[in-house]
Amino acid sequence: MPTVSSQDVLALAPVAILALGGIALLLSEVFLTSGKRGYQAFLTVLFAATAGLTAFGATPGKVFAGQATADAFSAFVTITVSFGLALAALVSASWLDARGAERGEFYALSLFAASGMSLLGMASDLLVAFVAIEIMSLSTYALAAWMRRGKKPAEAAFKYFILGAFSSALLLYGTSLVFGATGSTLLSDVARGPLQAGGSALLSAGLVLVAAGLAFKVAAVPFHVWTPDVYEGAPTPVTAFMAAGVKTAAFAILARTVLAAYAATGGAADSAFPRVLAVLALLTMLVGNLFAVPQRSVKRMLAYSSIAHAGYLLLGVLAAGLPAVRERALSGVLFYLASYTASAIGAFAVVGALESNGQPGDEPADAWDLERLAGLSRRRPLLAFAMTVFMLSLAGVPPTAGFVAKLLVFQAAVGAQYLALAVVGVLTSALGAYYYLRVVVYMYMRPAAEGEPAGVTSPVLSVALAVAVAAVVVLGIGSEPVASLARAAAAVVR
Amino acid sequence: MTPLESYFPLAVVFALALVLGLALVGLAALLGPRRPSRVKEAPFECGSDPVGDARGRFGVKFYVIALLFVVFDIEAVFIYPWAVQVRELGWNGFATMAVFAATLVAGLAYVWKKGALDWE
């Protein structure tokens, strides 16, 4: 029986801190009943910061006989997730406060979700990954239902739960088949391939099911149908956290799994597994961008844009299959995730600040319509500027973070000889610029509608937006420190 | 031998179960006498007369209690094997179980204070 060493416990410290934070906030809700809840968001930020710092200083090594791995890769994921959690908590504070729905449980659930995400970044065993995914998902299902009296949130939460449970079942079934073929759920053993000569079909079936389950979580086409409804219906700060955090964590485990799958199935670029992934990436880039174009609702447009970004990220994961460009591709993916976290949370924060404060259960149908942004540059110039920065970053225009991220991923794809896919990526990005810049056009060139409310203002929201803008610009102009961190993180994954 | 071949006996059991089940039901339907009456056609509800629709709604309180029961049920599942092996596991095992129990106690404190245990 393997014994527990202090190394095992220390390596899991970031996960433990986030979980502890969740428990602390749960108890704060019932034991500190002062009615003032402003401290809860700050407490969440504090726990997120501590977890991020702990991950930064953690000693790398295997945890519990290789079931999880604490390395630079997992540290990067944890830091990105913690950053996203802190930003989302600040955004949530003002959004929930304006609706009288701020409770400790909200932050507790966010922290629990983040602990699952952090664990997912470490997982190097399919069963540990499953447990981490469930911790993450169950918390986000509940968060999606936070405004439960509304019709749309209820629909979103129910859809998310049913389809999420289904995808978890696929993942688990795939894991059982992989176990049957390789005799282990450890990714390092899976990478060695099937135990017996005839087991490769079983292994492929299992790996495809596992990949399908993960594709569900990252919202890759054709497993994306839930995304627009869930992202639109969930409370806006929750959507921000889901889009950034779940994507980061799910791509982390997807990258580790795909690398093991490549090794197990021979690793040739023309074998079945890379081809499946290439089709997924192609479809995701095309469908995400094409369906985002006709959307009038900014929130729904951002949901489709999230699908499109999953496509670019898949392209990076695909390129990582080739050992020669693996490091470049994975570091590109990691940088992309960090940049997407800042841009997406910022964009959703602006959308959340502007949406109408309607009664639960009868929200106006046009709560997130483009018209709401019309003339924003006159009403609230700073908010319009922040939104412009986020839109430019999502579109991939220099000098923002999104540009550098896309550049790194497409470079890796070209390096791995996926020329056609890289071209599709560039073309669909150009298409994306249309619907992102349309938002900017509405803000700066359309007159405001009569009686349009100015939206929520609060110091916390301003701080969150300022941090997000700063992150997007700094990652865009001085990308080297983070890019080198990402390279160091990518170098340790094999 | 492919990995699936070793499952052949299992497939035979499944097939046999299916055939047997279908055969028994089918034979009963073919050979059995059939004299329906009003009482026989009514849905069986533990001997008492059926009242109302079966698809009634239950108070949400029951679900909360059921959920809490599951939590402590699982706790028992973990604690029993640990208690059997407590000497072999030593302080390391004790610390692990203490963390687990402390987490549950925190949850119980939350639930209690929140008022989920008050029935009225």
Q: Please, how many CA atoms are within 13 Å of residue A157, restricted to the half-sphere of its CB?
A: 19
Q: What is the CATH number for B45?
A: 1.20.58
> Would you say residue A27 has pLDDT above 60?
yes
**Domain assignment of residue B104, yes or no:** yes
User: Which residues in chain A are contacts of B3 at CB distance < 8 A?
Assistant: 180-181, 195-196, 198-199, 202
Contact A23 B114 (CB under 8 A): no
CA distances from B51 to A20, A25, B38, B55 (A): 50, 47, 16, 11
As a whole-number percent, the residues of chain A with pLDDT over 70 amount to 94
Give the pLDDT score at A405.
Answer: 95
Cβ neighbourhood burial of B74 (10 Å; 0-12, 13-18, 19+) = exposed
Nearest alpha-carbon partner for A75 in A23, A136, A12: A12
Q: Which two tokens stand for residue A475?
A: 């990652």
Q: What is the CA radius of gyration of chain A?
A: 21
> pLDDT tens across B52-86, in order?
777 777 788 888 888 888 888 988 999 999 999 89
Mind listing the pLDDT tens digit for each residue in A289-338?
999 999 999 999 999 999 999 999 999 999 998 888 899 999 999 999 99
Residue ranges of B 60-79 with Cβ closer than 8 A to chain A: none
**Which stretch of A198-202, A222-226, B43-47 has the lowest confidence by average pLDDT?**
B43-47
Residue B119 counted as domain residue: no
Residue A261's CB: how many other CB atoms inside 10 A?
27
Nearest residue, CB atoms, A27 vs list B1, B3, B106: B106
Residue among A20, A23, A138, A179 with most chain B CBs within 10 A, to mutate = A23
Per-residue pLDDT at A456: 72
In this prediction, residue A99 carries a pLDDT of 84
Nearest by Cα to A238 from A131, A353, A145, A336: A145
Do the beta carbons of residue A207 and residue A266 sit within 8 Å?
no
| DSSP structural state of residue B5 | G
Asked if residues A330 and A339 have their Cβ atoms less than 8 Å apart, the reply is no
pLDDT category of residue A270 using cuts at 50, 70 and 90: low
Query: Which whole number is the average pLDDT over A142-161?
Result: 88
C-alpha–C-alpha distance, residues A269 and A275, integer Å: 8
Asked if the structure places residue B91 within a domain, the reply is yes
Per-residue pLDDT at A360: 53
A239-252 confidence digits (pLDDT tens): 999 999 999 999 99
Residue A279 clears pLDDT 70, i.e. is over it = yes
Contact flag B110-A27 (C-beta cutoff 8 Å): yes
The domains of chain A are located at 6-491
Band (pLDDT 50/70/90 cuts) for residue A362 is low
User: How many residues belong to chain B?
Assistant: 120
| CB A202 within 8 Å of CB B4 | yes
Q: What is the 3-state secondary structure (H, E, C) of chain A?
A: CCCCCHHHHHHCHHHHHHHHHHHHHHHHHHHCCCCCCHHHHHHHHHHHHHHHHHHHHCCCEEECCCCEEECHHHHHHHHHHHHHHHHHHHHHHHHHHHCCCCCHHHHHHHHHHHHHHHHHHHECEHHHHHHHHHHHHHHHHHHHCCCCCCHHHHHHHHHHHHHHHHHHHHHHHHHHHHHHHHCCCEHHHHCCCCCCHHHHHHHHHHHHHHHHHHHHHHCCCCCCCHHHHHHHHCCHHHHHHHHHHHHHHHHHHHHHHHHHHHHHCCCCCCCHHHHHHHHHHHHHHHHHHHHHCCCCEHHHHHHHHHHHHHHHHHHHHHHCCCHHHHHHHHHHHHHHHHHHHHHHHHHHHHHHHHCCCCCCCCCCCCCCEHHHHCCHHHHCHHHHHHHHHHHHHHHCCCCCHHHHHHHHHHHHHHHCCCHHHHHHHHHHHHHHHHHHHHHHHHHHHCCCCCCCCCCCCCHHHHHHHHHHHHHHHHHHHCCHHHHHHHHHHHHCCC
In a domain, B120, yes or no: no
Q: Do B96 and A3 touch (CB under 8 A)?
A: no
Least confident range of A271-285, A332-346, A383-397? A271-285
Check CB contact of B6 with chain A, cutoff 8 Å: no
Cis ω before A360 (30° cut-off from 0)? no
Res B42: pLDDT:
77
pLDDT of residue A276: 86
| Tally of domains in chain B | 1
Tens of pLDDT along B90-119? 888 898 899 999 999 998 899 888 888 888
* Whether complex ipTM tops 0.95: no
What gap in Å lies between CA A388 and CA A443, rounded to an integer?
9
Q: Return phi, psi of residue A223, to 5°.
A: -110, 35
Nearest to B109 among A4, A27, A181 (CB): A27
Strands A68-70 and A61-63: antiparallel
| CA-closest candidate to residue A474, choices A338, A382, A371 | A338
| Largest pairwise CA distance in chain B | 70
Q: How large is the average pLDDT for residues A143-155?
A: 85
Q: Does residue A6 or residue A215 have the better pLDDT?
A: A215
Fill in the DSSP letter of residue B24: H
Would you give the distance in Å from CA A77 to the centre of its chain? Answer: 10
pLDDT of residue A363: 60
Cβ contact B2–A4 (<8 Å): no
Sign of torsion, CA A3 A7 A9 A12? negative
Task: Give yes or no for residue A268 having a pLDDT over 70.
Answer: no
Q: What is the mean pLDDT of chain A?
A: 89
pLDDT at A213: 94
Section A145-167 average pLDDT: 88
Radius of gyration of chain B (CA): 26
Interface check B4 vs A, CB under 8 A: yes
Higher pLDDT, A156 or B3: A156
Place of tokens 């610009």: A473
Residue of A7, A9, A30, A178 to mutate, interface with B, max B Cβ within 10 Å? A30
Give residue-wise pLDDT tens across range A94-122: 899 888 888 889 999 999 999 999 999 99
| Distance in angstroms (rounded) separating the CA atoms of residues A488 and A461 | 33
d(C-alpha A48, C-alpha A128), whole Å: 22
**Contact flag A196-B2 (C-beta cutoff 8 Å):** yes
Answer whether residue A414 shows pLDDT above 60.
Answer: yes
pLDDT at A118 (0 to 100): 96
Please, which residues have CB within 8 angstroms of residue A378's CB and are 6 or more apart in sequence? A448
Structural domain including B18 reads: 5-114
Task: Enumerate the residues of chain A whose CB falls inside 8 A of the CB of residue B96.
Answer: 4
- Asked if residue A434 has pLDDT above 60, the reply is yes
Domain membership of residue B71 (yes or no) is yes
Prediction pTM value: 0.89
Interface A-B: count of C-beta contacts within 8 A? 32
Query: What DSSP state is assigned to residue B43?
Result: P
Contact assignment for B92 to A4 by CB distance below 8 Å: yes
Work out the pLDDT band at A1, boundaries 50, 70, 90.
very low
Residue B99 lies in a domain: yes
CA distance A177 to A179: 5
> By percentage, how much of chain B surpasses pLDDT 90?
34
